[in-house]
């Protein structure tokens, strides 16, 4: 008769597998020429706030001609380029070329204008994310940072655009606890996304390729995962580029203007007044048509 050995027997029992974190919403958004709006406050932005808009763009020089100087208030935007480069300018005084792998971080705060166009690549492909600011920041001074690829924090295949992941932390200022990453995986590669311990919402959007994580996500899709702070495992079926975000839920209302998102009607009115003041100055300087 064989005597049981508790220590040996325990070692032979595999730990229970973590249950997958399932997708609860998916969308292909609304396409407008070379730009696809995957998220807006009227749909998934209300569910995923502070993430309120997400645009996937793939533009040539002709398409960029429609994206001159335009205003924002009450938000910050984060733009990441998977391919190409773009020219940028804003009313904080910054101007230049953002290259492939670079990041534009633009906090409009109480009101600012920015714009862009094609660089010397003639084409640009990537994502622009809008993030709602809390009341204490929605009328703060405008700021902008343009990161070269070598200045972007990396954790393996992930560029850390906001927050932290693994051993890497972005120097850019997130308005609340959140993580936002741009990831490139080769066909067959696997990767685990670990949200922060206080992040109860997460989503991912694929620019190119195809993911399994745990359900299939194709190029051009955005998926929302069930509420939790559990890790999400991704596998690339083919070479794949995507972004993934997680955050603690924004507890404030979303009050919308055409280019602005605020927490109250009074805050929106103040932001739009400031936008109008800047518009008058830009027209006086000849940078906008009168």
pLDDT tens, residue by residue, 222-245: 999 999 999 999 999 999 999 999
Question: How far apart are alpha carbons 222 and 27 in whole angstroms?
Answer: 5
User: 21-284, what's its fold?
Assistant: Jelly Rolls (2.60.120)
Residue 67 has pLDDT above 90, yes or no: no
Question: How far apart are alpha carbons 220 and 133 in whole angstroms?
Answer: 27
pLDDT tens, residue by residue, 185-220: 999 999 999 999 999 999 999 999 999 978 999 999
Q: What is the pLDDT of residue 123?
A: 83
Confidence band, pLDDT 50/70/90 cuts, at residue 182: very high
Domain residues of the chain, as ranges? 21-284
In the block, which residue shows the tokens 């001159």?
68
Confidence band, pLDDT 50/70/90 cuts, at residue 17: low
How far is residue 58 from each of residues 33, 100, 137, 238, 256, measured CA to CA in Å?
Answer: 9, 13, 31, 20, 26
Q: What is the pLDDT of residue 5?
A: 56
More confident of the two residues 93 and 262 = 262
Confidence band, pLDDT 50/70/90 cuts, at residue 60: confident
CB 114 within 8 A of CB 106: yes
CB 31 within 8 A of CB 63: no
Q: What is the pLDDT of residue 153?
A: 98
Q: Mean pLDDT over residues 28-32, rounded?
A: 93
pTM for the predicted model, two decimal places: 0.91
Strand order in the sheet with 23-27: 23-27, 222-225, 201-208, 240-247, 178-185, 158-162, 153-155
Confidence band, pLDDT 50/70/90 cuts, at residue 144: very high
The torsion angle over the Cα atoms of residues 205, 208, 213 and 215, rounded to 10 degrees, is 90
Main-chain dihedrals φ then ψ at residue 219, nearest 5 degrees: -55, 135
Residue 2 has pLDDT above 60, yes or no: no
Percent of the chain past pLDDT 70, that is, above it, reads 92
């Amino acid at each position: 008769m064989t005597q049981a050995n508790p220590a040996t027997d325990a070692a032979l029992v595999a730990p229970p597998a973590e249950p997958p974190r399932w997708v609860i919403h998916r969308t292909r958004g609304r396409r407008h020429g070379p730009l696809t709006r995957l998220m807006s406050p009227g749909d998934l932005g209300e569910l995923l706030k502070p993430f309120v808009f997400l645009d996937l763009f793939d533009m040539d020089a002709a398409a960029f001609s429609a994206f001159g100087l335009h205003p924002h208030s009450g938000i910050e935007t984060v733009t990441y380029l998977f391919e190409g480069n773009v020219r940028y300018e804003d009313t904080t005084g910054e101007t230049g070329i953002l290259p492939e792998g670079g990041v534009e971080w633009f906090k409009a705060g109480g009101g600012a204008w920015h714009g862009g166009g094609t660089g010397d690549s003639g084409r640009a492909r990537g994502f622009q994310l809008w993030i709602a600011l809390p009341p204490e920041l929605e009328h703060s001074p405008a700021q902008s940072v343009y990161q070269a690829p070598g200045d972007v924090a990396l954790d393996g295949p992930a560029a850390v655009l906001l927050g932290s992941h693994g051993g890497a932390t972005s120097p850019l200022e997130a308005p609340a606890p959140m993580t936002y990453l741009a990831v490139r995986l080769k066909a067959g590669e696997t990767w685990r996304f670990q949200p922060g311990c206080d992040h109860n919402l997460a989503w991912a959007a694929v620019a190119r390729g195809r993911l399994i994580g745990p359900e299939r996500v194709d190029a051009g899709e955005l998926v929302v995962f069930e509420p939790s702070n559990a890790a999400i495992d991704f596998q690339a079926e083919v070479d794949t580029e995507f972004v993934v975000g997680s955050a603690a839920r924004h507890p404030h209302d979303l009050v919308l203007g055409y280019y602005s998102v605020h927490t109250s009607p009074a805050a929106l009115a103040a932001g739009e007044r400031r936008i109008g003041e800047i518009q008058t100055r830009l027209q006086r300087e000849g940078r906008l048509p009168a």
